[in-house]
Amino acid sequence: MLGNKYGRDKKSLAERFELSEKTIGRYIETFKEVGFVIDKNENGFYKINKEESQYKDLSELLHFSEDESLILSKAIEAIEATTEMKEQLKKKLYSIYNFDRVATPIVKKHNKKIIQKLTKAISGNKQVTLIKYSSANSQNISSRIVEPFDFTQNYISVWAYEPESDICKTFKINRITNVTILKEKYEFKEKHKKANLDVFRMNGKDNIKVKLKLTIKAYNLLIEEFPRAELHTKRKKNNSSIFETEVTSLLGIGRFILGLPADIEIIKPQKLKDYVIGEMQEGINRFEK
């Protein structure tokens, strides 16, 4: 909105994003800190001066997911430099990361078009049809009418309310064939609520306490694939590790365990053990056919 010809004043920006004018002011200062030149005219309208800014467009900024941010923060700590310099690097990193959806990430060309349409629908409070969505849960390909309202931090999925099922859920961008923006405005805005994503990037209504014992191999692969897991893992003297957290679904953690069954001991809960055994047995039955 700051990148258009006329810009916007703080009041209209605050109303558009449902934030205070004070918060909008902080965001404008963040843009200045990361290299944008922000002009303000006599009417109080702010806009990006694209001729003088270090970045010509918001899309030239990187978007960091939470996992990427954690990795970069650890990398900064490993740099042999003064503490002041490290803190400055961190400040620049988090000034970008903490600003929600500061830029469109580098994605596949097809996905970028989908994201652009969804962003337009969200901006206009419009319903959309997700054309030929391939669902991993139902194993069906179908078109869904939904009300999109946000993206996951890494733009892998879009949060949307589906009137037919009366559920807010995430839809993976790369499983959407196309998006049609409908004329209908939001009808169920009060139901637009995001659920928490667990360490394995799964969302669900449950909060399941899990505890695993990992070999060095399992620990290394867990941290490499899911960096936030390190915050919930303790190394033991015998070269093993204990991973303990809450998950919203057994699907994500189950997939990880099934990939390393000889390197992971499930300490709790029993239903996680039952789930993994059931998946293994189903796989054995298919191979034996």
How far is CA 4 from its chain centroid? 27
**Fold adopted by 208-288:** Alpha-Beta Plaits (3.30.70)
Predicted pLDDT at 90:
64
Predicted pLDDT at 69:
66
Distance CA 221, CA 286 (A): 27
Whether the CB-CB separation of 211 and 224 falls below 8 Å is answered with no
Predicted pLDDT at 116:
84
Predicted pLDDT at 98:
44
Residue in 201, 91, 92 with CA at minimum distance from that of residue 153: 201
- What tokens does 56 get? 């010509």
Predicted pLDDT at 130:
95
Domain ranges of the chain: 8-60, 66-97, 109-191, 208-288
Domains 109-191 and 208-288 share a fold: no
**Fold adopted by 109-191:** SH3 type barrels. (2.30.30)
Distance CA 119, CA 89 (A): 30
pLDDT in tens, the chain (289 residues): 887 778 899 999 998 888 899 999 999 988 887 777 888 888 899 988 876 665 555 555 555 566 666 677 677 666 666 667 666 666 666 555 544 333 344 455 667 788 889 988 988 899 999 999 988 766 788 899 999 998 876 577 899 999 999 989 889 888 999 999 999 999 999 999 887 778 898 877 778 999 999 999 999 999 988 888 988 999 988 889 999 999 988 999 999 999 999 999 999 999 999 999 999 998 888 887 7
* pTM, two decimal places: 0.54
- What tokens does 199 get? 């360490």
